[in-house]
Structure 1
Amino acid sequence: MPHKKAQKEDVVYILNILATIYPISEELKQAFYEKTLRFKVKKGAILLKEGERSQYMYFIKKGALMGQTIHKKKQIVTYISIDNEFVSSISGLHGIVPSQEAIIAVEDTELIAMHNDDLQALFLQYFDMNFLFRVMVEKYYRDAQERSHIIRVGNAKERYLYFINTKPGYIERLPLNLVASMLDMKLGTLLKVQKQHQLSLQKDKETEEWCSKIEDYIINQEAFRYSDLSMEHMAAALSISIHKLSSIFNNTYQLTFSEFVNGYRIKSIQNDMIDKDIMHNYTIEALAKKSGFATRSAFYNAFKKAVGITPLAYRNSL
């Protein structure tokens, strides 16, 4: 595969990334300038065939690579890596044994690389190289183990959520048939799970918007002060179905309509009780009426249930 010596800015780019892991000696930096190579490969190019020995450790400056193996005449994607990731054969690291997977370019890709022989020489000469590589390999294999675990035990939805959460932006960028293969599902299954997730996000956003409207109506418009406020009145005021409104209270707020509204009424009363001027002019029962409670008994029962003590005991505690 044709290659050139890496340009200085390419090496500096890698060294800056590695320096975030461990300080790099000037001698090791110089060795990187001398030993680092640069590759440009087209989409579909095979960097390593299954059964061959890996010769290089790659860094993806721009583009995407995948690992692929064949099992029972079926092509299986084992991993996909994009910009700013290091890539080599997982099974045949350093080329000690033949690789169990091919490495193929998913996009037109620019790579910075170092030959395994040069890597081994640097390991023997520089401690910082050993430490850097150990950290990289630990992350590499940890990601591989985590990926293989979720694929073995997770259902299709769990595998999909794992992928989009750990690899943000990949699903929008990569061919979905390759993503489906890596997640061990059919393309049709991936499309179905993706659509369900998008609908779920849309539903969550819609619910969030309705919650905002409900709270604006109750708090800013002080609708809790209406003693005859009912779910029907609120639904009509907000132009939402009673079924949808009830679902939001039960599933999102996890409160009944009365508990939700009375909570704001009680909070209003508690704020009023702190104000000496208000308490000079109002009785506790008058505050309850002003805040929307229709009866004294409803107020006392709701207050004690929410606060744990009677309104009078609460007032005396202030």
Structure 2
Amino acid sequence: MSKHLQYNKAESKDVGYILNVLSSVHTVDQKLKEEFEKHLLRLRIKKDQILFNENEVCEYIYFIVRGALMGCTTHNKQKITTYISIENDFVSSISGLHGSDHSQEYVIAVEDTDLLAIHNNELNRLFTYHFGLNYIFRVVLEKYYKAAQQRSHIIRVGNAKERYLYFAKTNPGYLNRLPLDLVASLLNVKTSTLLSIRKNSSKPKEGNVDLAEFGQKLERYVNDHQLFRQKNIRLHSLAQKVGIGSHKLSVVLNSYFNKSFIDYINQYRVNWIKDSIRNPEIMQNFTLEALAYSAGFSSRSAFYNSFKKLVGMSPLEYSRNIGEEIL
């Protein structure tokens, strides 16, 4: 572990932040909250600073609050980028997960990065006594390994353009933010090749639209007015309500969020239903189908298909997991 890292006790806002992230997956009980208040740490590392080295034991699991990290290994004196992570990602040694072995990779900051951390000794102890934490990290690991499997598959069988398009779709915003040579290393293509593909694949800007500005405006409006709950919401009507043209809205959805209109709306609907399922009072009075219709889904099949696609399990399985934790 780098000798120059300075760990400090996390502030209450940091604890609240990480608990909100964890509770979005599974209910966090009071005892577990108290454990995080005792043991959660925070640190900041500068761009190009190493978080941990190859052949070291990674003593912590980290959560990125702000910034970006990349995992690297060396082969025949050549650096190979194995992953890139940004805000709201957990990061630790893959080969030495939970401090079980020496790390075969090193992790370095791509940007100035703020992190939260908990020591593996404490985390392993908490796994023994808290089912909810085990469930949360199972979901986190499943998400990571699914992404890793998809990435390794496309790198093995896809050509350079297919790798680029896959990365652009699954990591919205990365290409405009990260150094292109890092992305090229991750996708195992030459930087010059990636630059050429990116240039040829780029779409003309519509009136110099600031995608981030319009994207944030859209998020605020949909959240404030819960437009996703309208069964008849359409791209044209949404564009009118937000105050931008239909074509510009389509550009924002495709280029900024990397989502189709229906996937964008259904993500809101599913998140609203997940929040409702966590509320015992709501579940005593409403069926899952009633919640689905209230959220804006027009059919049971559309609800179940979208929920499983976005959550990785059926709404009934999700509801049962939440119910078991409450009991």
TM-score (norm 2): 0.60
CA distance in 2, matches of 1:129, 1:28: 8
Other-structure match for 1:18: 22
Asked if 1:82 is matched to 2:86, the reply is: yes
Where does 1:83-162 land on structure 2 (aligned, <5 Å)?
83-162=87-166
Other-structure match for 1:54: 58
Other-structure match for 1:70: 74
> 1:63-89: CA deviations, max 9, x gaps?
000000001111011100011111111
Other-structure match for 1:288: none
Question: Which stretches in structure 1 are left out of the alignment for 5+ residues?
Answer: 206-318
- Counterpart amino acid of 1:118? E
CA distance in 2, matches of 1:15, 1:67: 25
Where does 1:203-282 land on structure 2 (aligned, <5 Å)?
none
- Cα deviation, residue 203, structure 1: 11
- Cα deviation, residue 18, structure 1: 1.0
Q: Quickly say closer, same or farther: Cα 1:166–1:29, change in 2 above 3 A.
A: same
Aligned length: 203
Other-structure match for 2:294: none
- Counterpart amino acid of 1:145? Q
Picking from 160, 168, 172, the partner of 1:168 is 172
SS in 1 for 2:144: helix
CA distance in 2, matches of 1:93, 1:154: 29
SS in 1 for 2:80: strand
**Identity over aligned residues, as a percent?**
55
Bigger radius of gyration? 1
- Cα deviation, residue 158, structure 1: 0.6
- Cα deviation, residue 47, structure 1: 0.8
Q: Quickly say closer, same or farther: Cα 1:31–1:149, change in 2 above 3 A.
A: same
CA distance in 2, matches of 1:107, 1:203: 27
Where does 1:196-207 land on structure 2 (aligned, <5 Å)?
196-198=200-202, 201-202=203-204
CA distance in 2, matches of 1:53, 1:37: 18
CA distance in 2, matches of 1:84, 1:196: 31
Other-structure match for 1:281: none
- Counterpart amino acid of 2:61? M
CA distance in 1, matches of 2:109, 2:35: 28
Other-structure match for 2:190: 186
- Cα deviation, residue 202, structure 1: 3.6
Q: Quickly say closer, same or farther: Cα 1:25–1:203, change in 2 above 3 A.
A: closer
Q: Quickly say closer, same or farther: Cα 1:26–1:190, change in 2 above 3 A.
A: same
Picking from 7, 19, 42, the partner of 1:3 is 7
Question: Which stretches in structure 2 are left out of the alignment for 5+ residues?
Answer: 208-327
Q: Quickly say closer, same or farther: Cα 1:156–1:2, change in 2 above 3 A.
A: same
- Cα deviation, residue 32, structure 1: 0.7
Other-structure match for 1:240: none
CA distance in 1, matches of 2:124, 2:61: 11
CA distance in 2, matches of 1:145, 1:55: 26
Other-structure match for 2:31: 27
> 1:171-193: CA deviations, max 9, x gaps?
00001111110010111011011
- Cα deviation, residue 166, structure 1: 0.5
Asked if 1:37 is matched to 2:37, the reply is: no
SS in 1 for 2:134: helix
- Counterpart amino acid of 2:76? K
SS in 2 for 1:65: strand
- Cα deviation, residue 14, structure 1: 1.0
CA distance in 1, matches of 2:104, 2:115: 22
CA distance in 2, matches of 1:165, 1:43: 26
Asked if 1:177 is matched to 2:189, the reply is: no
